[in-house]
Chains A and B, each alone.
Chain A
Amino acid sequence: MMFEHKEIIIDDNNKLLNRENLFYKEFQSDYRQVRFFSMVIVQKAPPEIKEINLLEQQISELIKNAVKHGNKKDINKKIKVWAAFDTNFAHVIVEDEGKGFQKIEEWNEFNFKRSECFENQDFDAMEKYFAYRTDESDENDGGNALFATLEYWDGGVVFNSRKNCIAVYKNFEKKKHGIDLNQQGD
């Protein structure tokens, strides 16, 4: 394999699934409120985090998948979210009450082939891999959210073995070229 390839991990004992020191929120599976829920979570992030829009979008995808594909928009089912933020990281866990994303292995394989085509800039072949679809996908499903999830959350993307709970971790780079205000006047 000549290119860097990432995949979704399935591991109940992975440290990303540890909820210690994370804050907790739960929501009803109201599809209309997916972005609102995501904003409720992201407002806990420190203001130093740049690209808060992008962080909100990435969390929103996880919540949307849980509400739509996990809980099938059943208002009586809950979405549970645990999260922690600091200036250098974001750690989020989203759990639903659905039957789980059972096709993770198939998705990993699909994503591997997709990465291969993209690495080779094979645009014709790429078209087959723009969207991952299952029998349950509808026309409003982009089918591309998890590709970006895996890229964005560079500290890992992990599911539990029931596959109804996803944990993700993002490292934020420390500012490299800034003016240190404490140094002024030296």
Chain B
Amino acid sequence: MEIKLKKYSTTYIIEVVGDMDLYSSFELKNIVAKMITKNIRSYVVDLAKVDYIDSSGIGVLIHIYSTIKKSNRILKISNVHGSVEKVIKLTKLSQYFPIVGSVKEALLQIEQTKKVE
């Protein structure tokens, strides 16, 4: 698994590339934990290039979302597809996770939330 960071305005796009499995998922957790200490307010986790997720990966998504929410920051998860979408459905978390179709949509929604604030 590889993680690429891009910045758009004040939002960080975290692009995950490869499998989010028992061997690698913790890397995403560590990166987000570091970013939170740097006071970054809004995040997009883009899963366009993730075709495989297991319970460790789901655990990391739950962890980062609840941490981000608790500290009043914003997270969107984009491009969930294929077996990743299926596993999220099997775990019944499709409604809970802030899933959006694309990075563009995620950025738009984040901008709107910030305007309201």
Contacts and interface: CB of A to CB of B under 8 A. Distances in A.
Interface string B47-87: 00001111111111010001000000000000000110011
B106 to A, nearest CB: 20
Contacts of B51: 53
Contacts of B26: 139-140
Given A126-B96, A127-B66, A57 B87 contact: yes
Interface of B: 21-23, 25-26, 51-60, 62, 66, 82-83, 86-87, 90-93, 95-96
A35 interface: yes
Contacts of A155: none
A104 interface: no
23 contacts: A53-B52, A53-B82, A53-B83, A54-B83, A57-B53, A57-B54, A60-B21, A64-B54, A115-B92, A118-B92, A123-B96, A126-B96, A140-B26, A141-B55, A142-B58, A144-B91, A147-B90, A147-B92, A148-B55, A148-B87, A148-B90, A151-B90, A152-B90
Nearest to A35: B21
A143 B21 CA distance: 14
Contacts of A61: 54-55
Contacts of A9: none
Contacts of A123: 95-96
